[in-house]
Amino acid sequence: MKTTAVIMAGGRGERFWPKSRNSRPKQFLSLTKDGETMIQKTVRRLLPLVEMEDIFIVTNSAYIGLVHDQLPDIPKENILAEPCARNTAPCIAFAAAVISRKYEDAVMLVLPSDHLISYEELYVSTLKKAIAVGTAGKNLVTIGITPAYPETGYGYINFSSRTAEGNYDAYEVARFVEKPDLPTAKEYLASGKYLWNSGMFVWKISSIMENFRELMPEVYSGAVKIGEAFGTDSFNDVLQREFSAFPSESIDFGIMEKAQNIYTIPGSFGWDDVGSWLAVERINDVDDDKNYIEGDVISVGSERTTICGGKRLIAAVGVEDIIIVDTDDAVLICSKNNTQDVKKVIAKLNEQGRTNLV
């Protein structure tokens, strides 16, 4: 059976302002010194598993040009433009319906476009196991990440001790849980039965479509209509009408928490969701003073500081535990304790109508 991949690339990534903007969100940025953008990395590391012509990108219509520019080898017809944001369930149904026009059935990997993986071989072998389990029966597989510490910013997957038939690496999912507080997260880790929810899924087109038909019938029927119109003159009209009518719903809530035959495969391959500017020092090398420095920077006695320079000189003198990001029209200076508040800057800019800076 063919293996296909769907890369979800519609997100905004406000937490990487001022580098990320509405016009160029996080997945289209490079946050590593190699210059490769997040979505380029996502595609490249899939190539041992999926042919380029079977990789599909679902994104906001505003980013079609960016996808073409950054991924010129992806066939144009594989770049699917959502007319509006409706969370992951409609996105996946849309892609599944389009792929089902190309293949009677196929394995479908569903992957975020803005995560980093350090151990790409381990990642590939984990996905291979997931493909094996996802090809059997009507299994829905999600990749869980073995936690490294009690993170409170992620959802968790609670797995039971039952494994999938013939595969001792795939555990039945007991439940999905929301972001915990710190004591709860510590309990999760101590129990040895919780994994981080990575948002990566593997299943057959036929399996996920059957689940949509049962659990989200309105999304199912809309997606079928979109799939039928794909390649015809009426496609844009049908897509616009049907997609806009979809509820905004995550695949976790809409399908995974309600379906049968949900398995998780624990993975450990240096996964990082790159959720805020704090990630930059995690995913890059730091110097002896624990600084990450990129660009034209003079540091005098600064420690544990992340500096992403732009075109101008940045002089950092005696500062500690802050993040400095320079761009042509805005510079961010942010305490490491307050990276979530970068969103408040964007909110203020929107209030002030300064959309050119957002």
Reported as half-sphere exposure (CB side, CA atoms, 13 A), residue 155 has a value of 16
Comparison of 233 and 329: residue with beta carbon closer to its own copies: 329
Q: What is the amino acid identity at position 151?
A: E
Which residue, among 3, 63, 62, 61, has the nearest Cα to 38 in the 3D structure? 63
Query: From CA 253, how far away is CA 170, in angstroms rounded?
Result: 21
Angle, vertex CA 242, rays to CA 11 and CA 76, nearest 5: 55
329 binds its own copies (CB under 8 A): yes
Integer angstrom CA distances of residue 303 from 96, 255, 306 = 48, 46, 9
Give buried/exposed letters for 241-277 (b at 16+ CB in 10 A, else e). Answer: ebbeebeebbbbebbbeebebbbbbbbebebebbbbb
**Residue with tokens 């000189």, as numbered in its chain:** 313
Shortest CB 165 distance to its own copies, Å: 51
330 binds its own copies (CB under 8 A): yes
Q: Dig out the tokens for 170 from the structure.
A: 């795939």
Of 36-44, 106-114, 221-229, 345-353, which part binds its own copies (CB under 8 A)? 345-353
358 binds its own copies (CB under 8 A): no
Which residue, among 295, 288, 345, has the nearest Cα to 316 in the 3D structure? 295
Binding to its own copies in span 233-262, by CB under 8 A: none
- Residue pair 261/133 in contact by the 8 Å Cβ criterion: no
Angle, vertex CA 168, rays to CA 162 and CA 171, nearest 5: 40
Of 83-91, 153-161, 174-182, 341-349, which part binds its own copies (CB under 8 A)? 341-349
353 binds its own copies (CB under 8 A): no
Query: From CA 265, how far away is CA 171, in angstroms rounded?
Result: 6
Fill in the per-residue mask, 14 to 53: x = in contact with its own copies (CB under 8 A), - = not in contact. ---xx-----------------------------------
Of 127-135, 212-220, 256-264, 336-344, which part binds its own copies (CB under 8 A)? 336-344
Comparison of 286 and 357: residue with beta carbon closer to its own copies: 357
Q: Dig out the tokens for 324 from the structure.
A: 């400095």
Comparison of 15 and 204: residue with beta carbon closer to its own copies: 15
- Residue pair 132/255 in contact by the 8 Å Cβ criterion: no
Comparison of 50 and 332: residue with beta carbon closer to its own copies: 332
118 binds its own copies (CB under 8 A): no
341 binds its own copies (CB under 8 A): yes
Binding to its own copies in span 266-325, by CB under 8 A: 298, 300-301, 312-320, 322, 324
Comparison of 192 and 318: residue with beta carbon closer to its own copies: 318
Options 118, 338, 350, 355; binder of its own copies; rule CB under 8 A: 338
DSSP 8-state secondary structure symbol assigned to residue 252: I
Shortest CB 305 distance to its own copies, Å: 9
Comparison of 130 and 334: residue with beta carbon closer to its own copies: 334
Comparison of 50 and 316: residue with beta carbon closer to its own copies: 316
C-alpha torsion 77→243→256→267, nearest 10: 30
Comparison of 80 and 297: residue with beta carbon closer to its own copies: 297
- Residue pair 112/200 in contact by the 8 Å Cβ criterion: yes
Comparison of 181 and 329: residue with beta carbon closer to its own copies: 329
Q: Which residues bind its own copies (CB under 8 A)?
A: 17-18, 298, 300-301, 312-320, 322, 324, 326, 328-335, 337-339, 341-342, 344-345, 348-349, 354, 357
